[in-house]
Chain A
Amino acid sequence: MKGLILVGGFGTRLRPLTLTMPKPLVEFGNKPMILHQIEALAAAGVTDIVLAVNYRPEIMVAALKEYEAKYGVSITFSVETEPLGTAGPLKLAENILKKDNSPFFVLNSDVTCEYPFAELIEFHNAHGGEGTIVATKVEEPSKYGVIVHRENSTQIDRFVEKPVEFVGNRINAGIYILNPSVIDLIELRPTSIEKETFPQLAAAGTLHSFDLEGYWMDVGQPKDFLAGSTLYLSALNKKSPELLSSGPFVHGGNVLVDPTANIHPEAKIGPNVVIGPNVTVGAGARLKHAVILKNATIEPHCFVNNSIIGWNSKVGKWARVENVSVLGDDVEVKDEIYCNGARVLPHKTIAGNVEKPEIIM
C-alpha cells in the first residue's frame, strides 16, 4: 500500500522551534512528529510513502533515509515548486500513488491521533466507495467544516462550512483513504481537496466517513502542541503505562522521560510532562504541562508550566517560565528571571524579565 503525508512549507506557526528544525522532525512525545505517522503507516502495511513538501532540507533527507531502513519502507520527497494546496500534491505524486490499484492514505502532517489505519482499510473496503474521510467529533462545530451524512448511513451527503445552526459535530480530521481513481478528479494546480475534490465525491455518493476513536489534535502551533502532548500522554497511560515514568519525582502522572535524562529525585514533575534525551533537571525544580527537548538543562528550584523548552536551552535557578513560553534552540534564561508567554528565538540569552507575552528576537 501507499501513503502521502502533506508536509507543506516552513512550519512558521511553530516558530521559534521550526527556525532551527524542520517541523516534521520536531519531537512530539520524544519522537519526531513524522515518525509517529511513518510507524503507523508501516504497521498498516504501507510500503511506499510520499512526503509532499515545498522545500527539502538536507537534515530531513538524512533522517528519512534512516527511517526507510528501519521500517522497510520507501520514502520519496515530492517537491512542489509552488504550493499546490491540499489536492495538487496528490496529482504531483500520481506516479507512485497510481502504481497499483490499492487505495492510498493521505495524512496532514500536523495532525496527531492514534492512527487506526487497519480498521480504516477494513471500513473502506467494506463500503466500496471511492474515498473515506476520518471524522472527529468536536464541541464547537461552528468553527469548522461539518460533515453531514445521508440518513442512517456513513455515506457523506455534503459539507457545511462554519454552520450557524447545528447540523452535526463531525469534522474532517485531515486523514483519508482514497482509491487511485480519485486522482483523475484533480488537476495539477493549487487546489483544495476539502473544497474541490470531496464535494464532487460526496455528490456522486462515493465518499464515506469513519469515526475516530480517542484523541485528535492539530499540533501545528505551540499552544496546541502542548495540549496535544497532554492528550498523547493520557493515551499512552491507557495503552502502555509501563512506558511512563514512575520515578520518585513524578507528581500527578503522565510523565514521559527519556532513559538518558538525568533527573534529581527531589524535583517535582507532572502532570503531563515530556522530558527528552540528555536533559538534566535539578533538585527542587517544578515542571508541569511542559515539553523539555533534547539536551536542555533545568536548573534547581526553577518553575516551568505550560511551556516548551527548546533543545540545548537552559532555565536558570529560581526562574519562572510559564503561559506558553517557547524557548528556541540554545536559549538561556538567567537565574531568577520571569518569562510570561515569551517566544524566544534561538541562541538568545534572557537576562531581564519578560512580563507579558512577547517575541524576543
Chain B
Amino acid sequence: MAKKALILVGGGTRGTRFRPLSLESPKVLFPVAGKPIVSHAIDAAATLPSVQEIVLVGFHPASTFNELIAQTKRQYPNIVIKYLQEYKPLGTAGGLYHFRDEILSGDPEAFFVIHADVCSSFPLEEIETFYKNVEADAVILATNVPKQTVVGNFGSIVVADDGSGKVVHYVEKPESALSTLVNAGVYLFNKSIFDTIAEAKKERSDQVSSGVSFDTDPDFLSLERDILSKLPHLSNTKFYAYVSKDFWRQIKTAGSALPANSLYLQKLDQSDSKSPGLLPRSSNIIPPVYADETAIIDPTAKLGPNVSIGKHVTIGKGARVRDSVILNGTEIKHDAVILNTIISDDCKIGSWARIEGSSDSTAASTSAASTGYMVGITDGVSVGSSSTGVSILASNVLVGDEVHIKNSVILNWKEIKSDVCNEVIM
C-alpha cells in the first residue's frame, strides 16, 4: 500500500509565529514529550508495516536535519529516510510537485503526506484501511473543532449526507463556519494528485502571465488553498474524509507546544506507563512526567502532571514543576516554581523564583473552552492554555533568585533580575 510517507517540514515562512523558540532552530525540531515535533510524525509512519521510505520536504538548509536523519536511521534500519530541500519556498503543493519524480520512483501505489506541525495520534493504519475500503484516490484526515474556532483558522470540509465520508466541498480558512469538520493535515494520495497539481499550476501561470493574478510566483502552490478545493469537483477523483475522534491540535505559536506536550505525554502514559523516560507515580511525581535519564532531579522536588525534562537538567530541592517543558542543560535551583512554562536550553532559574503562565487571564478561559475538541483523553484534563497563558524563556536566560515572571516571553541571553509581567523582554 503506502510505501512512502512525505512529511512537510516547512521553512518558507521562517516560523515567525513560533518565536522565540524558532529563532535558534526550526519549529519542527522543538522537542515535546521527549522528542522533536517532527519525530512524532516520523515514528507514526515508520512503525506502519507498509511504509518503506520517509521523505522530509521543506525549505530549511540541508544541514538542518542531518542529525535527526542519522538518529532516525539508527532507530529504523530498514526504512529509507531523506530530506528534499526546495530551491525556493514552493508551498505545500509546489514542493511535492517539484519532487514528483523522486516521490513516484519505485511506483508507490499510494503515499502519505503529513504536515509536521500538527499534534495528533496519526491514525495512519486506519486511514490506509479506509482508503482501501472506499477505493479512494485521496483521503484526508478530518477532525471536529468547536464552531467558533473554524473561521479563518482551518480548512473546512463538507461531507456527503450518506455517511460515506465522501467530500463534497472544501474551503481553506473560510469566512463563515461551513462545517466543524476540518482538515487535520494528514493525507493519503495516489499519483493522480500530480495531475491535479499540474492543472492548477498551468492555470496559475496563465493567470500570472495574463495579469489576472497578482501572485508573482507561478511555482508557489498551496495544497490546501489551490488543490484540495478542486478535488471534490473532479469526476475522476474519489476524495474521502476519514474522521478521527482522537486528540488533535495545530502547533502554530510557541505556546501551543505546551498542550502538544501534554497530549503526547498523556497518550504515552495511557498506552504504556512503563515507557522509557516516564517517571512512576510517587508522592512527588504526578504522571505523566517524562525525564531524560541524564536529568538530575532532587527527590524533594514535585513534578507533574504534563512535564517534560530534557538532557542534563538539574532540578533542586523543593522545586515545583507543572504543565511545563524544560529543555536540555537548564538548571532550576531549590524552591523555584515553574507552571505553564517553556524553558529552553541552558537557562538558570534562581531559588524561589516563580515562572508561570497564568490560567486566570481571559485568554486562558477561551482556551479552556477549546479543550472541548481534545477528545479521546481523560475527561476534565487541563492542558495548559493558548500562547498568552504561557511564559516562554529562550535559551541561556538567567533568572535571579526570588524573581517572578508571569505571562512573559524572554529572548535568549537575557538576565532577568526583577519581576516581569505580560511583557516581551528582547
Contacts and interface: CB of A to CB of B under 8 A. Distances in A.
Interface string B388-426: 000000000000000000000101111000000000101
Interface stretch (A138-146, A169-177, A296-304, A342-350): A342-350
Interface string A313-357: 000000000000000000000000000000101011000000000
Interface residues of A, number: 12
B23 A19 contact: yes
B122 to A, nearest CB: 30
A16 B426 contact: yes
B398 to A, nearest CB: 11
Given A15-B426, A359-B424, A359-B426, A345 B16 contact: yes
A252 interface: no
Secondary structure call for the B interface: loop
B216 to A, nearest CB: 14
A10 interface: yes
A268 to B, nearest CB: 30
B420 to A, nearest CB: 13
A12 B414 contact: yes
Nearest to B23: A19
A12 B16 contact: no
B317 interface: no
A214 interface: no
A164 interface: no
Contacts of B411: 12, 15
B9 to A, nearest CB: 17
B426 A347 contact: no
B31 interface: no
Contact of A348 (B16, B409, B414): B16
Interface string A1-21: 000000001101001100100
Contact of B409 (A9, A10, A19, A361): A361
B333 interface: no
B50 to A, nearest CB: 39
Contacts of A16: 426
Interface string A251-290: 0000000000000000000000000000000000000000
B424 A361 contact: yes
Nearest to A348: B16
A12 B20 CA distance: 14
B345 to A, nearest CB: 15
B238 interface: no
A40 to B, nearest CB: 29
Interface string B42-60: 0000000000000000000
B14 interface: yes
A324 to B, nearest CB: 13
A10 B19 contact: no
Contacts of A9: 413
Among B23, B412, B426, chain A packs the most CB atoms within 10 A around the CB of: B426
Interface of B: 14, 16, 19-20, 23, 409, 411-414, 424, 426
5 contacts: A10-B413, A12-B411, A345-B19, A348-B16, A361-B16
Interface of A: 9-10, 12, 15-16, 19, 343, 345, 347-348, 359, 361
